[in-house]
Chains A and B, each alone.
Chain A
Amino acid sequence: MSDVFITEAEIEPTGSGPLDGVTVAVKDNISTDGVRTTCGSAMLADYVPPYDATVVERLTEAGATVVGKTNMDEFGMGTTTETSAFGPTENPTAPGRVPGGSSGGSAAAVAAGEVDLALGSDTGGSVRCPAAFCGVVGIKPTYGLVSRYGLVAYANSLEQIGPLAPTVEAAAGALDVMAGVDDRDATTREPPTEASYADAADGDVEGLTVGVATELLEGADEGVRECFEDALEELREQGATTETVSLPSVETAVQAYYVIAMSEASSNLARFDGVRYGPATETDGDWNDAFAAVREEGFGEEVKRRVLLGTYALSAGYHDKYYEQAQDARAWVKQDFDSAFEDVDVLASPTMPVPPFELGESLDDPLQMYLADANTVPVNLANLPAISVPAGETAEGPVGLQLVGPAFGEETLVRAGSALA
């Protein structure tokens, strides 16, 4: 079995529509009725959901066939897909290297041509990072555009389900099917226009103003920077203008993101106690001992690290210091992006400041791994939409260009992104 899937399956279409004949890979934290959904964790190795996520329902109603559940960092916690309890996935376009994460299996499945389309989830870059590392397109929708019903929660206030595909048009077509109000997710909203996102993939960037944030270029590897500059030149040749902007708030975005995501995770993952699901364990002690034993057995090291740090950040005496300050930093990021969009239509940066890591390279130093998310996490903090499109390759592997738009500005992102892919 290929290393992109944790479970291969065949979920037949329930209807007919724009996705007739399309094969889809679904990240293994998105619930599929009757098909095991592990979240890349030993804790859920045998968990079989009794219902479908709304996005799965919508894709199969539109004619798609789901062919498998893809590998991922455990509960979405990672940037390489190496924290999966089911082993790593190799990057099909950069041998010996990671596919990015946490939706690494989904991006690899698309890049290897095993499926036409894939679903990922993006809490701090988990659709865009693997899209960039595997040389495919990934969209992180505006918070509230796509239902999270049936997505196993990691950090609810940050995450969205998003499509990955070989082209912007195909990803936009999937978004057309997925987007819109769902009464089982009260944070959902209707898309702002009746127009189809796929129709916006006309590559027309004449007159588009692209802002380039200096803070998101500073840490970039030289090879990545060259690819990024070439992609900007391509946009200018097609009629776009570029201008430099400043986003000082992004300097504390990674800190804010990790405090908030870990805090939410510590609460969300409290449900994994071995009673309603999870491995059976034998202990002689009381419920505290039993829960602690099953959580030691079921969780991998990165999940424990985040649950513990989140518990710490929310504990008495530290709540104001970490969690409250992180919320202020989040509000600052949002304000900063909002005011940038008064002058520019979209913001551009490299999706990842580095090319794909070698397998095993980043496992020892969690803080180094967190820093690689510098360009993607501000988007989740600000609830904004973003797209990653292929922008060339370095000797180490593919490079992605990230475009960020104002809230519910997916149409503009699709139009601009389709000028490149």
Chain B
Amino acid sequence: MTADDGDDGAADVDDEEVRHVASLARVDLEEAEVERFAAQFADILEYFEALEEVPDVDADAELTNVMRPDEVREGLTQEEALRNAPETEDGYFVGPRVS
């Protein structure tokens, strides 16, 4: 499946593609999940193909900037911000190693 194979649709999703997207999204999957998702994604992406038929619409979003003065105000305390972390040290979050 590639971005421009519009002719034969998106009905073809293999396990490798599911694993690739899962790695982009940082979600480990079990083997059974990979297989289920491959079949389901094929159905769902094929259904999304109908979006090809949408006509061009001339629409201007009504957007207004909402500004406020940049003033210091009370926020969470350090203790509150750290309260839900599984691991903290010296007032910091502990994260996994980066490499």
What B residues does A275 contact at CB under 8 A? Answer: 85-86, 93-96
Which of the residues B26, B47, B66 comes within 8 Å of A367, measured between beta carbons?
B47
Contact A335 B57 (CB under 8 A): yes
B contact residues around A295 at 8 Å (CB): 25-28
B residues 41-59 near A (Cβ < 8 Å) are: 41, 43-45, 47-48, 50-57, 59
Please tell me if A147 contacts chain B, counting CB pairs below 8 Å. no
What residues of B have a CB within 8 angstroms of the CB of A255 in the complex? 47-48, 50-51
Residue contact A309 to B44, C-beta cutoff 8 Å: yes
In the complex, chain B residues whose CB is within 8 Å of the CB of A270: 26
Q: Is the CB of B56 within 8 A of A328?
A: yes
Contact status of A305 and B40, CB under 8 A, knowing A50-B80, A292-B23, A292-B27: yes
Dominant SS among interface residues on chain B: loop
Q: Please, which residue of chain B has its CB at the minimum distance from the CB of A325?
A: B51
CB-CB under 8 A from A280, the residues of chain B are 86-87
Interface segment out of the listed A110-118, A171-179, A209-217, A310-318 = A310-318
**Interface contact A278-B86, CB-CB below 8 Å:** yes
- Alpha-carbon separation in the docked complex, A171 to B8 (Å): 49
Kindly report which residue of chain A lies nearest to residue B99, judged by CB atoms. Answer: A286
Which residues of chain A have C-beta atoms less than 8 A from B30's C-beta?
Answer: 296
Report the nearest B residue to A407, measured CB to CB: B62
Chain B residues lying within 8 Å of A287, measured Cβ to Cβ, are: 95-98
Cβ 8 A contact of A366, one of B23, B40, B81:
B40
Total cross-chain contacts (CB, 8 A): 140
CA–CA, A308 and B55, complex, Å: 28
By a CB distance below 8 angstroms, the chain B residues around A312 are: 21, 41, 45
Cβ A311 vs Cβ B25 within 8 A: yes
Residues on B with C-beta less than 8 A from A279 are: 86
Residues of the A chain whose Cβ atoms lie less than 8 Å from the Cβ of B98: 286-287
- Alpha-carbon distance A288/B25, docked complex (angstroms): 10
The answer on a CB contact under 8 Å between B3 and A318 is: yes
A408 contacts partner chain B, Cβ-Cβ < 8 Å: no
Q: Distance in Å from the Cβ of B55 to the closest Cβ of chain A?
A: 7
Whether B54 pairs with A329 at a CB distance below 8 angstroms is yes
Asked whether, in the complex, the Cβ of B51 is within 8 Å of the Cβ of A277, the reply is no
Neighbouring A residues of B55 by C-beta, 8 Å = 332
Q: How far, in angstroms, from A293 to B2 measured CA to CA in the complex? A: 28
Are B93 and A276 interface neighbours, CB within 8 A? yes
Q: Flag whether A146 is at the interface (Cβ < 8 A).
A: no
Would you give the shortest CB distance from A74 to chain B, in whole angstroms?
A: 14
* In the complex, chain A residues 334-354 whose Cβ is within 8 Å of any chain B Cβ: 334-335
Chain A residues closer than 8 Å to B94, beta-carbon distance: 275
B18 to A308, Cβ gap below 8 A? Answer: yes
User: What mask results when residues 32 to 49 of chain A are scored 1 for a CB within 8 Å of chain B, else 0?
Assistant: 000000000000001110
B29: A residues at CB distance < 8 A:
296, 304
Q: With contacts A252-B54, A255-B51 known, is A286 near B97, CB below 8 A?
A: yes
- The reply to whether B57 and A332 contact each other, CB–CB distance below 8 Å, is yes
- Give the most central of B26, B28, B85: most A CB within 10 Å: B26
How far apart sit A97 and B20, CA to CA, in the bound complex (Å)?
A: 37
Contact with B along A230-263 (1 / 0, CB 8 A): 0000000000000000000001100110110000
| A252 touching B53, Cβ below 8 Å | yes
Contacts of B52 in A (CB 8 A): 325
Interface string of B65-99 (1 = CB under 8 A from A): 01010000000100011011111000001111111
* A-side contacts of B83, CB under 8 Å: 48, 50
Q: Give a binary string over A260-283; 1 marks a CB under 8 Å from any B CB, 0 the rest.
A: 000000100010011111111001
> Are the C-beta atoms of A50 and B95 separated by less than 8 Å?
no
Q: Does A9 contact B (CB under 8 A)?
A: no
Distance from A279 Cβ to chain B, minimum over Cβ atoms (Å): 7
A328 vs B50: C-alpha distance when bound (angstroms): 12
**Which A residues are CB-close (under 8 A) to B87?**
280
CA distance A48 to B80 in the complex (A): 10
The 7 nearest A-B residue pairs measured at CB: A290-B96, A317-B3, A280-B86, A296-B28, A50-B80, A331-B59, A277-B84
Known A286-B97, A366-B40; further 14 A-B contacts with Cβ < 8 A? A48-B83, A50-B76, A252-B50, A256-B54, A266-B25, A276-B84, A277-B85, A280-B87, A292-B23, A296-B30, A305-B40, A307-B25, A318-B3, A335-B57
**Interface residues in chain B, defined as those with a beta carbon under 8 Å from any beta carbon in chain A:** 2-3, 6, 18, 21-30, 33, 37, 40-41, 43-45, 47-48, 50-57, 59, 66, 68, 76, 80-81, 83-87, 93-99
